[in-house]
Structure 1
Amino acid sequence: MAKLIQTEPFRSLYVCSKIAAVVSKIPFWALLYSIGADRPRPSWTLKKTLAVNALRELIETPMETGDFRLRDPAMEVAPRDCNGARFIWVDKVPSNLIVGEIKRFADACGTESVRVPAYGFGRWGAGAEIPLAHDGEKVLMHIHGGAFVMGTAHPEDVTSYVPRGFLEFGDSTFTRTISIEYRLSASDPHPANGPFPAALLDALAGYLYLTRTLGFKPQNVFISGDSAGGNIAQSVVRYLRDHPDLGVGAPGGLILFSPWADPTGTHYGAPNSVAFENSKSDFVRPQTAPDSMGQYGLRSLLGKISVQDARQNPYIAPGSLEMSPDAVRGMFSGFPPCYVVGGGSETLLDAIRTLQERMAADIPKDVFVYDEVADAIHDFVCLPLWEPERSNTFRSIIDWIQRL
């Protein structure tokens, strides 16, 4: 049955039937909550409650159908299919800028930097030439989430509400943002593809495009990432921090939304963990489930890297509990200003708290913010219905950027 629904037309029929089943449940759920059934969080509106229920039932569908790759990163997208964004080609990273530990990992798995797509939101112009940076102009580069194995930077993806959100609430700070279409990872039962550090190299290519091709000053570039994209974002900044000799320069700030800080899962079962309690109110399943998206994402990301080695590596698992005190000390020294957002009801909250504690120990207090939004789910900033929390979060971040 599993292989059958991974082929057409059975895949489409299965997805349609699953969506129909969820839609048919909505009136029943609405009735239950209307007559007094306990909501996962008492503060939630009926709309939020129904949305989380639906997401929980649908989020693992790609694991069943095998349909992860929504966009081919080697293909150009026509302007009419870009939903108001601008398609942009980002050149690969020059080989002399891939050094140290990341070069060793890349060589070990046969990964090279490649040209990747990106999507520009806001004022990217309509002419053949993309406008260069104006004097003092700020820009935001976003890295989308999706457990390293699914999603897209294309405006059709729900994560596009992040780069759009910065324009919506920060039009006096940003006139354009960009989202990078990095290579997704894959592993058995699918052909292996894109293990670490492929996504890091693609995000680095995006940063170099902004600073070296368009001429943005590094301090005027802000990097954001949601979920797995938050993990990738911190790894790019870490690489820039670790190799100042490359002369690339550090970004002006790092913004992480619900970052997947510990894909290796060291927090599950830890004392005082909130993961299993929060899994009752979040749409993300605990990573302990062997068939979960989290487990597949981890396997796909690591490739030939062992889980034990990954747990010691801040590029992959900066929130791991199995790092030595010496490794944790100074882990974020030299990082730019950082703003971390976590949801109070999300399954990944334990690792997010560990990450922010480590950041707070190394980054000056006047430029570091941790915002744990009460009763918010994973990646709530990607859901326009999650109000007023989403709007308040973007306004707070824009205010923070303006005060830097």
Structure 2
Amino acid sequence: MGSHLSLAVSPQFFDGASKQSRLLSFGLRHTVRPVLGAWAKLPFHIMPPNIIDHAARLLPVHEGTMWRTVGLADCSSEWLQAKGVDDIHGGNQHAILYLHGGAFLSCGLNTHRRLVSRISYAAKQPVLNVGYRQMPQEPIVNTILDCVDGFRWLMDQGYKPQNITIAGDSAGGYLAFCVARAVIDKGWGRPAGVVAISPLLDMDPAGKLSHRNANSCEAFSAKAIARLTDVADQIEIRRGVSGMRVCPVNMPMSDFPPTLIHIGSREVLMADAELMASRLIAAGVPCELQVWDRQVHVFHAAANWVPEARLAIEEIGKFVRALVDLEISQKPTTKVLGSPETAKVSSVL
């Protein structure tokens, strides 16, 4: 394997790639990646309709899952409970705010309902899955407002901020950190934790273009992300909100909650995961960086047939359940999960 950036955290590496995961990797490399590569080279911007979310209505959810529509101020969302999971009326004081991925352009409640149902089951917590507004109709700053509104909805139902974990994949990882920052800045309290799956955390493509994984990702290249950044900038200029967006890697971090980051070993977004993990640990924030051998972008979504995806979701469940134990242990005294003094500067692999 190539050399990695030096990190102020020792990542946990999950070795091995099953036949199913290798097949998934092959499929993405010969379908999604070429399409996105061609899109990145177009001399003009094309925003395809979000057909994938409509088609995903037929996807099954985890057995026994219940969900209902929730109307937020500017978007529709879903309240979802996996089999055997109680809400606050059943005595469960903890919940998850989930923010789906899709490059701020695609996907939605339908594409992610199955993944969210599995996370709910693994974490033993209900989930609000936010169907936020997306580009090109709305700039990212308005997307963030929808997600913060989702957090506020959970508070209105009786969930305390310190009992709410914010999770998201890809662009949803970006949003998860933005919501955590907004919640803290508003004085609402500190969320229980953040879970970021294959997160996009830096809209500046420079770090990804120079990273060893710039051309090894099965889903997309760093040049495709550079095009996404250009699209986001142009939309913000048209809407008069240019300069209002701050990427998670550049936010103040010392008061962030414990964080779990999942990333595939060949993903172009490894650059963002490494940078965020290092900055969190340097700021004294407990952060677990889990690197999954040869797994594709958000492989968790293929849990129905990829064994590594099921294991990864269980790891997320363990992390979220541990936050509950942490919250209980902190009631009489103040303790910190992990310690920056124990972090060691080392190579990733």
The aligned amino acid for 1:228 is A
In structure 2, the gaps of 5 or more residues are 1-14, 327-349
Q: Is 2:157 aligned against 1:198?
A: no
Match of 1:211 among 155, 163, 167: 155
Cα deviation digits, residues 86-106 of structure 1 (max 9, x gap) = 3423332xxxxxxxxxxxxxx
In the TM superposition, what is the alpha-carbon distance from 1:277 to its structure 2 partner?
4.6
Cα deviation digits, residues 263-310 of structure 1 (max 9, x gap) = 22021343xx2223523xx222x132xxx3x3443234332359xx98
Residue equivalent to 2:96? 140
Q: 1:196 to 1:269 in 2, by over 3 A?
A: closer
Percent of aligned positions that are identical:
20
Residue equivalent to 2:7? none
Q: 1:56 to 1:277 in 2, by over 3 A?
A: closer
Secondary structure of 1:304's partner? helix
How far apart, CA to CA, are the structure 2 residues paired with 1:200 and 1:381?
A: 23
Match of 2:105 among 140, 144, 149: 149
Match of 2:232 among 289, 301, 311: 301
Residue equivalent to 2:24? 51
How far apart, CA to CA, are the structure 1 residues paired with 2:59 and 2:22?
A: 33
Q: TM-score, normalised by structure 2?
A: 0.72
In the TM superposition, what is the alpha-carbon distance from 1:215 to its structure 2 partner?
1.2
RMSD: 3.5
In the TM superposition, what is the alpha-carbon distance from 1:143 to its structure 2 partner?
0.5
Residue equivalent to 1:397? 316
How far apart, CA to CA, are the structure 1 residues paired with 2:93 and 2:119?
A: 14
Residue equivalent to 1:182? 132
Q: Is 2:295 aligned against 1:376?
A: yes
Q: 1:91 to 1:169 in 2, by over 3 A?
A: closer
How far apart, CA to CA, are the structure 1 residues paired with 2:89 and 2:52?
A: 28
Count of residue pairs brought into register by the alignment: 292
Secondary structure of 1:197's partner? helix
How far apart, CA to CA, are the structure 2 residues paired with 1:283 and 1:47?
A: 16
In the TM superposition, what is the alpha-carbon distance from 1:337 to its structure 2 partner?
1.6
How far apart, CA to CA, are the structure 1 residues paired with 2:94 and 2:263?
A: 25
In the TM superposition, what is the alpha-carbon distance from 1:118 to its structure 2 partner?
0.9
Secondary structure of 2:30's partner? helix
Contact 1:231–1:261 at 8 Å: present in 2 too?
Answer: yes
Residue equivalent to 1:347? 268
Residue equivalent to 1:287? 222
Cα deviation digits, residues 289-335 of structure 1 (max 9, x gap) = xxx3x3443234332359xx98x98x54234xxxxxxxx6x821111
Contact 2:20–2:305 at 8 Å: present in 1 too?
Answer: no
Match of 2:165 among 222, 227, 236: 222
Q: Is 2:195 aligned against 1:255?
A: yes
How far apart, CA to CA, are the structure 1 residues paired with 2:232 and 2:89?
A: 34
In the TM superposition, what is the alpha-carbon distance from 1:139 to its structure 2 partner?
1.2
Q: 1:378 to 1:162 in 2, by over 3 A?
A: same
Q: TM-score, normalised by structure 1?
A: 0.63
Contact 1:146–1:228 at 8 Å: present in 2 too?
Answer: yes
Q: Is 2:293 aligned against 1:361?
A: no
More relative contact order, 1 or 2 (CA 8 Å, 6+ apart): 2
Cα deviation digits, residues 349-368 of structure 1 (max 9, x gap) = 11210111111112443xx3
The aligned amino acid for 2:222 is Q
Contact 1:332–1:359 at 8 Å: present in 2 too?
Answer: yes
The aligned amino acid for 1:377 is V
Secondary structure of 1:52's partner? helix
Contact 2:17–2:293 at 8 Å: present in 1 too?
Answer: no
In the TM superposition, what is the alpha-carbon distance from 1:221 to its structure 2 partner?
1.2
For 1:12-27, list aligned pairs within 5 A: none
Residue equivalent to 1:88? 69
Match of 1:120 among 79, 84, 90: 79
How far apart, CA to CA, are the structure 2 residues paired with 1:82 and 1:345?
A: 29
Cα deviation digits, residues 130-153 of structure 1 (max 9, x gap) = x75454521111101011111112
For 1:240-279, list aligned pairs within 5 A: 240-244=183-187, 248-270=188-210, 273-279=211-217
How far apart, CA to CA, are the structure 2 residues paired with 1:228 and 1:52?
A: 20
For 1:329-344, list aligned pairs within 5 A: 331-344=252-265
Match of 2:177 among 234, 242, 246: 234
Contact 2:21–2:306 at 8 Å: present in 1 too?
Answer: no
Contact 1:143–1:153 at 8 Å: present in 2 too?
Answer: no
In the TM superposition, what is the alpha-carbon distance from 1:262 to its structure 2 partner?
1.6
